[in-house]
Amino acid sequence: METVNNKILIDVGFNATEITRRLESIDQRPEDLTAILITHEHIDHIRGARIIARKYDIPIYLNPATHQASKTILGNIPQIEYFSTGRPFTLNELTVEPFSLPHDAYDPVGFNFYMGQIKISIALDLGYVTKLVKERVQGARLIILESNHDAEMLKIGPYPWPLKQRISSKLGHLSNEVSSNLLAEIAHGQLVGVILAHLSEINNDPALARLTAENSLMGHTSEVIVSCQDKPTTLITLGDGL
């Protein structure tokens, strides 16, 4: 995410070499990053954070429980900044609001970003949509939302039964249907776009995820973008320096 005075990474799930390559592919440099925000301690969200942060002296923002749970992976980071879940903080002209998500981590969060009249919401790695989540993402101009799996594909797929149970549990991941039901409830005239993220390569199909989301947004002009794991997502400009 980029504003006039911010260049922010939300989670660093790839190794440092891959992160650098992807940033450069969109004409960005890791040394220009101003902050790294961490949602939770699972390895697919923090794998490259330590090296990137240490090499380029970038502060990492996370809550205390996530830091405690990730110390063996993050190691000694020169700049650690704590936030409190539910309490907004500022990064230059940007206001950041971390909010609680139901997931099998110590204190997982989503983020709202506010600048002027623009709001962006990010909600990834959550097992179900709580009342709090629905309240926090309402009114977003852009929402990045988990659409992890198709329930039927997960059911008949190759994963062992305990893993299937974990994914579909209230501390697991959102299905296409549940994600789209949320979109149907919060859709509004100023919703510019939806980015579907954290799709399973085994238990989902991008075309199916997109169709399910688009059907839930009937009557709205919101663009639906499906992110993929092998390249950066299309850049979106919302105006007002964001």
Chain Cα centroid distance, residue 45: 9
Q: Does domain 1-86 have CATH number 3.60.15.10?
A: yes
Q: What is the DSSP string of 153-173?
A: HHHHSSS-HHHHHHHHSTTS-
CB-based contacts of 26: which residues, under 8 Å, 6+ apart?
232, 235
Q: What is the pLDDT of residue 159?
A: 97
Q: Which residue has the tokens 């206001």?
A: 95
Domains 1-86 and 116-242 in one fold: yes
Domain map (residue ranges) of the chain: 1-86, 116-242
pTM summary value? 0.95
CA distances from 182 to 110, 122, 124, 212, 213 (A): 15, 13, 13, 12, 10
Q: What is the pLDDT of residue 236?
A: 83
Burial class (CB in 10 A: 0-12, 13-18, 19+), 205: middle
Look up the CATH number of domain 116-242: 3.60.15.10
Per-residue pLDDT reduced to its tens digit, 45-98? 999 999 999 999 999 999 999 999 999 999 999 899 999 999 999 999 999 999
Q: CA-CA distance, 113 to 195, in Å (whole number)?
A: 15
In tens digits, what is the pLDDT along the chain, a chain of 242 residues? Answer: 999 899 999 999 999 999 999 999 999 999 999 999 999 999 999 999 999 999 999 999 999 999 999 999 999 998 999 999 999 999 999 999 999 999 999 999 999 999 988 999 999 999 999 999 999 999 999 999 999 999 999 999 999 999 999 999 999 999 999 999 999 999 998 999 999 999 999 999 999 999 999 999 987 767 999 998 888 887 888 876 67
CA 14-50-93 angle, to 5 degrees, is: 90
Q: CA-CA distance, 201 to 220, in Å (whole number)?
A: 28
